[in-house]
Amino acid sequence: MRFVELASRFDASVSVEKDGQTVDGREPMELMLLEGVCGSALNITTRGPEAAAALEALAELVARGFDEA
C-alpha cells in the first residue's frame, strides 16, 4: 500500500511490469496480483508532468525495502 499511496501522490501515471505482465501501479488489487516476491525484478515506468519526481520517489521506496519490517 505504501507504493500505491506514494504513486498516487504524483501527477503521473505509474506502470509496473514484471515478467511481461504490466499493471497500473496505483491500483492495489492489480499490484498484489503481480506477485512481487522478494528478489523479483520490477520495471517501473512513469509518464506525466511529475514523472521524474514520481520515479525517483518510488525507486527510493523500493530500495528502502518498501519500509516494511
17 lines the binding site for other proteins (CB under 8 A)? no
Distance of closest approach, residue 40 Cβ to other proteins, in angstroms: 10
In terms of Cα–Cα distance, which of 43, 40, 12 is closest to 26? 12
Q: Which stretch binds other proteins (CB under 8 A): 12-20, 30-38, 45-53, 57-65?
A: 30-38
Binding site for other proteins (CB under 8 A): 1, 4-5, 24, 26-30, 32-33, 35, 37, 69
